[in-house]
Structure 1
Amino acid sequence: MQKKLTLSINEDLIEFAHVFSKKTNQSISHIVEEYLNELKKQENNPDKNNFKPKINKLYGAFESQPIPDKKELRRNFHEKNYN
């Protein structure tokens, strides 16, 4: 069910919201709703909260195999780059 919400926001942000809304062809309500949905997802998944999106894509990459130790990674790097 949709309900109305009244916000008090800095005038500069209101101007930005109108420009961004027109540029992206989205309503300001939709933009705010999507932002709040993202915050809700982060709240529900605390393990991923502190990472940037590129890092989050890697989340769980080593679940099926252990992370190699630093010496092994260094050896593999040198073998690939110097052979």
Structure 2
Amino acid sequence: MKKIIIPVLAVLSLSACSNTERGATIGAAGGAVIGGAATGNLRGAAVGAAVGGVSGALIGNVADRPGQCYYRDRYGNRYIDRC
């Protein structure tokens, strides 16, 4: 029974999140798994979770604005415009 309850609670908790929060959560979880598997230690999992969380949040943030993409100008400044 516990094997069913925990995933159901995880899915329900994500359903109340915005796309940015959902992307950060999924990115952090995926990054932790990949980082831990690639390095075999906790430090690699932590770095993977950090990188995955940031990239997932950026992707989720753009998902809130359909038809919009992130771009960088020649000075490195980030802006959002139509894709």
Fold shared per TM-score above 0.5: no
User: Highest Rg: 1 or 2?
Assistant: 1
Identify which of structures 1 and 2 has the higher relative contact order when contacts are C-alpha pairs closer than 8 Å and 6+ apart: 2
TM-score normalised by structure 1 residue count: 0.29
TM-score normalised by structure 2 residue count: 0.29
